[in-house]
Structure 1
Amino acid sequence: MTMQQSIIILILLVTIGMFLWGRWRHDMIALAALLACVLSGVIDPAIAFNGFGHPAVITVACVLVLSAGLQSSGAVDVLTRHAMPKDAGPLVSMGVLIGVGALLSGFMNNVGAMALLMPVALQIANRLELPPGRVLMPLAFGTILGGMTTMIGTPPNLIVSGFRAQQGSAGFGMFDFTPVGFAVALLGCVFVVLAWRLVPARKQAGNEGFETGAYLTEARVTEKSKIADKRLYDIENELDDSGAQIVGLIRNDVKINAPSGGRVIRAGDILVLEAEVDSLGTVLATLGLELEESVPVAKPIMDEPVVDDNVKNNTSVHLQTKADPSVTLASTTEDKQGKTVKADVKAESKPDEAAKKEDKGLNNEEVILMELVVRPESSLQGRSATNILLRTRYSLNLLAISRAGSRSKSRLRNFRMQAGDLLLLQGTNESLLEFASDYGCVPLAKRELKIPDKKLAFFAALIMLLAVAGAAFGLLPAAVSFAVGVLASMALKTVPPRTVYNVIDWPIIVLLAALIPVAGAMESTGTAALIATLLMEYVAQGNAIVALAMILIVTMFLSDLMNNAATAAVMCPIAIGAALALGVNGDSFLMAVAIGASCAFLTPIGHQNNTLILGPGGFKFSDYWRLGLPLEILVIVVALPLLIVFWPL
């Protein structure tokens, strides 16, 4: 073993360890690995950043942009609307849902497909009276499986194609992955549809599961109150230990939603507090407030409402208090069937113009509660409501956070969010959707079909079709074909030019660009061949079929623990080295890497779609293997003979 081989093996082991530790983001770890190789002399500094121009990296970025065009134009909504059955049973409903998810994932970013279909999955779960997780997990697995069917379906396939090109052959074609990938995806999807009962029946951490306080209470600030003439954030600091929070302010009969922390509280103001019954008395005594009126969440105190059949359909109803018609509150009650119904007290008074200028939160729009799940690539990770100025910028109240099925206990405004967290926010519909768009969150409320322009939906679908066709028929290299599609999307504004760079998942781009030179160094220094030779001699013992199975299983195992693109970049040189050591067809080994890297079903961290359902499904870390382990065994049983048939050794 040479010095360079020793160095790169050490860097590789440390890199995999950092991926498994999960303390740093994947792109940071990949960039650190690249720089370590450069500083140690393994990689020439002149070519260190050539990965950013690699065709696979360019193609991934372009596919993300074209996927965004399909989403924003409403093209996918049209497909979903017409495909989903209205009154079918569990098998048919989930079969169609997972089939649509797998189909979309073959031609667009599978995380985007999952995000689009999550609200639909929750509607199906509600209609069938199933725990949400029993629909969400099969959908997540189905969208992961769908990605392995085409070259652009998932980044590992593009990486595998790129490594084949580096060996002196042409890269894999658009549908070279389809014979094996489609069969595995089809049987895998059928399995998850039939075996959905293996998913643990966890209760969703939704509105009913959050510990947000049993009462929304109005308390008046008197002249004797010690908080008079104090700023709001000073008052909130005094409430830290009580579990209460201020969610609104009423001044001069005008309701201000999510008042800013710098606002000075005056005598005569009414604070809208959210607090548990047991701590309410302590809060009032601490702040020197007088109780104005209390509105229980479960049974609102108000006039007899005029309730129509909408209540039975779990829709919003408007109720007005006798005491103060200007107050806008969002609460929940139950109909005769025990279903939760939102009850919104709609503001009728005219807001004061001066107060309008003072606080963005002032408006007469309906205030609602909305659940949002934090996506894996969201910039919210590691940040709190205070960090992002949630109230100041968006006029929103963060009422609760649920993480992996558990309920948050600490003060919400300082709680640092993570991927998969479920957030309960209060505000206007427009503000909530703006926040979700800015920070990469998925609204779990029912989404109305919105197609701003039918022509845009048509053009978005046509551009994607032509880009795929250009690459599939060899008219243009894949990177060039999809880049032309991006340019057309910008010209026709299916993706507004100003948002093009916002829709690209830059951490994935940096990860790929950094690891491609590292993987190339593994091959050029002979490290990959050395590792492969050791594995072939001591594990496979020269048997090509055993070696192929070993590459597939090891790739699947690593993909469950670290990013699938990183797994593919690490395993491709080893797979090529194994094929050379045995003197067999390297294509079958590369295809085994492609299949294995797309099979992360045992943990919530192996794939972004698994992380996405963690909060909404109320899952624990250990819940995934119950459906995921038999699915991975099925993949091995199906994929191995198909690899040998379609890519003979």
Structure 2
Amino acid sequence: MTTPQILVFAILATMMVLFLWGQFRHDIVALLALMACVVTGLVPAEDAFSGFGHPAVITVACVLILSQGLQNTGAVDWLSRAVLPARAGRLTSMAALMGLGALLSGFMNNVGAMALLMPVAVQLSGRLALTPGQVLMPLAFSTILGGMTTLIGTPPNLIVSGFRAEAGGSPFSMFDFAPVGVAVAVAGVAFVALAGWRLVPARKAAGAEGFETGTYLTEVRVPEGSKAVGMTLRQFENEIENSETQIVGLVRNEVRMTAPHGGRRIRAEDILILEANVETLAKALSALGIKLEEQGSSSGDQRQEDEPEAKVTDTESGEDKPELRRDEDIVLRELAVLPGSSIVGRSASDLRLRTRYGLNLLAVSREGHPPRARLRTISLRSGDLLLMQGPAEVMADFIDDTGCVPLGERHLRIPDTRLAIIAGAIMLGSVGIVTAGLLPAAAAFTLGVIASMLLRTVPPRQVYTAIDWPVIVLLGALMPVAGAMEVTGAADVLARLLVDTVAQGNAIAALAVVLVTTMFLSDVMNNAATAAVLCPIAMGIAATLGVNSDSYLMAVAIGASCAFLTPIGHQNNTLILGPGGFRFGDYWRLGLPLEVLVVAVSIPLLLIVWPL
């Protein structure tokens, strides 16, 4: 091997180790790999950021924005009500939900489709007498399968199409993926709906009992002469820090306030509402001269009946401005943290939930179990389940700002029939332009984004927040790295190694190797990154064997859409980890048979539709 080839393999190996380690975000790892290629001279400095102008990257960004329009207008809500049966058995209900998830994922971001249908799945699980996980995992897998059916269904398809164009051919068209992709998706959905869901472990739902909360909501009255009089609430919490207690409300002059500002000073006869472990709290309170209020504690099961009322926070002065609200204005919501959410990696203290939103974080559940860290200092992760308390309209703002998914029935978005029709028409129009070959995908969907802004299905201020920027950076950074593999001949070296040692020179065996390798890598690293790494290798294998490279590129596309063995393989798998109460090793029970089915169905179809 030449020195450039050795350098490329070293950078790729380091990149994959960092991907698997998971301590750094995928986009950061991709940028590190890109800069390593630039520093070593494998990628010319002037071409370092050429990947950000790649048509595949532009198309992914535009599709995310158009998907946001479908969500904003309630188009998907209307479709789900029209398609999903209200009273049907398990088979019909599961098949309808999974079919809808797969259909939506073919034309919009599959994480968005999953987020929209999660509350429906949780409600359906109750009606079907199943655990939420037994419906959420089939839904997650169906939305992943649906992405392989069209050009815009998932970023790997766009990457595969881009590599075909760069190799001298034309890009794949909108529905070139459909003959194999639809058959595989239908087979997968049918298998899971008929019998596969029984393989999903029936984990107990990660409800309030799975959260790290105190045993009780406890009310304590601050008497005259108490050492707490004159303290700020923040100082009070610091004094009783070892009792694992947080203040969730304050009653003063018969007015109840939720999430009072930490700078508010305690007065005599104030009643503090504490989320606490009473056994450890009592000893701490006695040192401050405070006693538990008689008949003031309420079981955690009665929280909804004992909620404190709301407050309005003046963030300029840091003072709370309480106002009386009806009890029903204060709500409890279970929120799932989406991958890529703005709160990932931050704690309740970092977010300033009380001063910024006037909300209480009552509990966190992670993989169905409470984390061990202190509640207000827990660094949140994607897939965490949060129990939040506060005014309904403030909760809605928090959900919109952070991208969390509310579980249970949603009253946060009122469908607008006119705008829903417009959003659907824009998406269909963009797809139609690409299908007819009038414009390339990047240009057609860019026109769709402009139309969405002009017609207000996506407000201009929301355009940039709708884009999953880590994915865009990942794609833009990896394009030049993949190009370095081709230019240095590293892809050809690896292709020959696989063909000679694994496939033994057999084209069909090599096709299976490409598919299985892509599936395995997608289970442990980002599927877009997997596609970008495997495409040049796949084309190198085809060139070595002297066969049609389209078969191998399609195998990469299918394999990249089949991450079913781990919760980290795909964002939708991560999203259900908390709400389903799953453990890391739960996914393979359904995922492994499903991946075997995908291989069994796709290999013959690839040979028929894209003959060698």
TM over 0.5: yes
Aligned-pair CA distance for 1:345: 5.7
2:94 corresponds to 1:94? yes
Would the alpha carbon gap of residues 180 and 417 (structure 1) be closer, same or farther in structure 2, given more than 3 Å must change?
same
Q: Deviations over 1:227-280 (max 9, x none)?
A: 211111111122221122211111222111101111111222111112234234
Counterpart amino acid of 1:536? V
Aligned-pair CA distance for 1:71: 0.3
2:319 corresponds to 1:358? yes
Would the alpha carbon gap of residues 79 and 455 (structure 1) be closer, same or farther in structure 2, given more than 3 Å must change?
same
Counterpart amino acid of 1:23? Q
**What does residue 209 of structure 1 align with?**
210
Of 376, 381, 385 in structure 2, the residue corresponding to residue 418 of structure 1 is 381
The 2-side partners of 1:265 and 1:292 are apart by 16
**What does residue 133 of structure 1 align with?**
133
The 2-side partners of 1:409 and 1:26 are apart by 26
**What does residue 302 of structure 1 align with?**
none
Q: Deviations over 1:55-76 (max 9, x none)?
A: 0000000000000000010000
**What does residue 607 of structure 1 align with?**
570
Counterpart amino acid of 2:16? I
The 2-side partners of 1:236 and 1:48 are apart by 51
Aligned-pair CA distance for 1:440: 1.5
Of 333, 337, 343 in structure 1, the residue corresponding to residue 305 of structure 2 is 343
2:610 corresponds to 1:643? no
8 Å CA contact 1:371–1:425 kept in 2: the answer is yes
The worse-fitting range, judged by mean Cα deviation, of 229-238 and 604-613 is 229-238
8 Å CA contact 1:254–1:352 kept in 2: the answer is no
2:142 corresponds to 1:161? no
The 2-side partners of 1:452 and 1:116 are apart by 13
Of 420, 439, 443 in structure 1, the residue corresponding to residue 406 of structure 2 is 443
Structure 1: state its 5+ residue gaps: 299-330, 334-340
Would the alpha carbon gap of residues 363 and 592 (structure 1) be closer, same or farther in structure 2, given more than 3 Å must change?
farther
Would the alpha carbon gap of residues 209 and 272 (structure 1) be closer, same or farther in structure 2, given more than 3 Å must change?
same
1:591-630 alignment runs, 5 A limit: 591-630=554-593
The 1-side partners of 2:322 and 2:423 are apart by 36
The 2-side partners of 1:607 and 1:99 are apart by 19
**What does residue 469 of structure 1 align with?**
432
1:41-60 alignment runs, 5 A limit: 41-60=41-60
The 2-side partners of 1:360 and 1:591 are apart by 60
The 2-side partners of 1:207 and 1:495 are apart by 35
The worse-fitting range, judged by mean Cα deviation, of 126-135 and 217-226 is 217-226
**What does residue 283 of structure 2 align with?**
282
Aligned-pair CA distance for 1:283: 3.6
8 Å CA contact 1:360–1:392 kept in 2: the answer is no
The 2-side partners of 1:127 and 1:465 are apart by 34
Of 469, 474, 495 in structure 1, the residue corresponding to residue 458 of structure 2 is 495
The 2-side partners of 1:549 and 1:286 are apart by 70
The 2-side partners of 1:268 and 1:360 are apart by 19
Q: Deviations over 1:615-636 (max 9, x none)?
A: 0000000000000000000000
**What secondary structure sits across from 1:359 in the alignment?**
strand
Aligned-pair CA distance for 1:224: 1.5
Structure 1 length as normaliser, TM-score?
A: 0.91
Structure 2: state its 5+ residue gaps: none
2:406 corresponds to 1:405? no
Aligned-pair CA distance for 1:549: 0.2
Counterpart amino acid of 1:171? P
**What secondary structure sits across from 2:334 in the alignment?**
strand
**What does residue 326 of structure 1 align with?**
none
8 Å CA contact 1:560–1:603 kept in 2: the answer is yes
8 Å CA contact 1:254–1:351 kept in 2: the answer is no
**What does residue 245 of structure 2 align with?**
244
**What secondary structure sits across from 1:399 in the alignment?**
strand
The 2-side partners of 1:600 and 1:66 are apart by 25
Would the alpha carbon gap of residues 417 and 294 (structure 1) be closer, same or farther in structure 2, given more than 3 Å must change?
farther
**What does residue 316 of structure 1 align with?**
none
8 Å CA contact 1:231–1:262 kept in 2: the answer is yes
**What does residue 124 of structure 1 align with?**
124
8 Å CA contact 2:313–2:355 kept in 1: the answer is no
8 Å CA contact 1:332–1:343 kept in 2: the answer is no
Would the alpha carbon gap of residues 192 and 116 (structure 1) be closer, same or farther in structure 2, given more than 3 Å must change?
same
Would the alpha carbon gap of residues 612 and 252 (structure 1) be closer, same or farther in structure 2, given more than 3 Å must change?
same
2:187 corresponds to 1:226? no
Counterpart amino acid of 1:19? F
Of 335, 343, 346 in structure 2, the residue corresponding to residue 372 of structure 1 is 335
The 2-side partners of 1:225 and 1:572 are apart by 70
Aligned-pair CA distance for 1:86: 1.4
8 Å CA contact 2:67–2:108 kept in 1: the answer is yes
The worse-fitting range, judged by mean Cα deviation, of 209-218 and 82-91 is 209-218
**What secondary structure sits across from 1:425 in the alignment?**
strand
The 2-side partners of 1:493 and 1:226 are apart by 57
8 Å CA contact 2:212–2:363 kept in 1: the answer is yes
**What does residue 253 of structure 1 align with?**
254
Counterpart amino acid of 1:343? E
The 1-side partners of 2:322 and 2:110 are apart by 36
2:266 corresponds to 1:265? yes
Counterpart amino acid of 2:455? L
Structure 2 length as normaliser, TM-score?
A: 0.96
The 2-side partners of 1:434 and 1:498 are apart by 15
The 2-side partners of 1:186 and 1:369 are apart by 38
**What secondary structure sits across from 2:70 in the alignment?**
helix
**What secondary structure sits across from 1:407 in the alignment?**
coil
**What does residue 520 of structure 2 align with?**
557
8 Å CA contact 1:344–1:368 kept in 2: the answer is no
8 Å CA contact 2:263–2:319 kept in 1: the answer is no
Q: Deviations over 1:382-406 (max 9, x none)?
A: 1100011111101111111111111
